[in-house]
Chain A
Amino acid sequence: GAVVSQHPSRVICKSGTSVKIECRSLDFQATTMFWYRQFPKQSLMLMATSNEGSKATYEQGVEKDKFLINHASLTLSTLTVTSAHPEDSSFYICSARDLIGGKYGYTFGSGTRLTVV
Chain B
Amino acid sequence: LAKTTQPISMDSYEGQEVNITCSHNNIATNDYITWYQQFPSQGPRFIIQGYKTKVTNEVASLFIPADRKSSTLSLPRVSLSDTAVYYCLVVLTGANNLFFGTGTRLTVIP
A104 x B44 contact (CB < 8 A): no
Per-residue 0/1 for A94-117: is the Cβ within 8 Å of any B Cβ (1 yes, 0 no)? Answer: 110100000111111111010000
Chain B: residues with Cβ within 8 Å of the partner, total of: 21
Binding site for B on A (CB under 8 A): 4, 6, 32, 34, 36, 43-46, 49, 91, 93-95, 97, 103-111, 113
Q: Which of B43, B96, B99, B102 contacts A6 (CB 8 A)?
A: B43
Kindly list 4 other residue pairs between chains A and B, CB separation below 8 angstroms, not including A43-B103, A46-B99, A93-B43.
A45-B100, A106-B98, A107-B46, A109-B43
User: Shortest beta-carbon distance, A98 to chain B, in Å?
Assistant: 11
Across chains A and B, the number of contacting residue pairs, with CB separation under 8 Å, is 49
A111 touches B42 (CB 8 A): yes
- A97 and B98 CA atoms in complex are apart in Å by 10
Contacts of B99 in A (CB 8 A): 46
| Whole-angstrom distance between the Cβ of A65 and the nearest chain B Cβ | 21
Chain B residues whose C-beta falls within 8 Å of the C-beta of A4 in the assembled complex:
43
B residues neighboring A (CB under 8 Å): 36, 41-46, 49, 87, 91, 93-103
List B contacts of A103 (CB < 8 A): 49, 93
| Chain B binding surface SS class | loop
Establish whether residues B87 and A108, one from each chain, have CB atoms under 8 Å apart when the complex forms: no
Q: Offer 27 A-B interface pairs, CB within 8 angstroms, sorted by A.
A: A4-B43, A6-B43, A34-B97, A43-B87, A43-B100, A43-B102, A43-B103, A44-B87, A46-B97, A49-B97, A95-B98, A97-B96, A103-B49, A104-B93, A106-B46, A106-B98, A107-B46, A108-B36, A108-B43, A108-B44, A108-B45, A109-B43, A110-B42, A110-B43, A111-B41, A111-B42, A113-B41
Complex contacts, B102 vs chain A, CB 8 Å:
43
State the majority secondary structure of interface residues on A.
strand
Quick check: B98 and A32 within 8 Å, CB to CB?
no
Closest CB in chain A relative to B45 CB, distance in Å: 7
Q: When chains A and B are docked, how far (Å) is the Cα of A104 from the Cα of B101?
A: 20
Those 4 A-B pairs whose CB atoms lie nearest each other, nearest first = A108-B43, A44-B100, A43-B100, A93-B43
Task: Among A32, A45, A46, A95, point to the contact of B43 (Cβ < 8 A).
Answer: A95
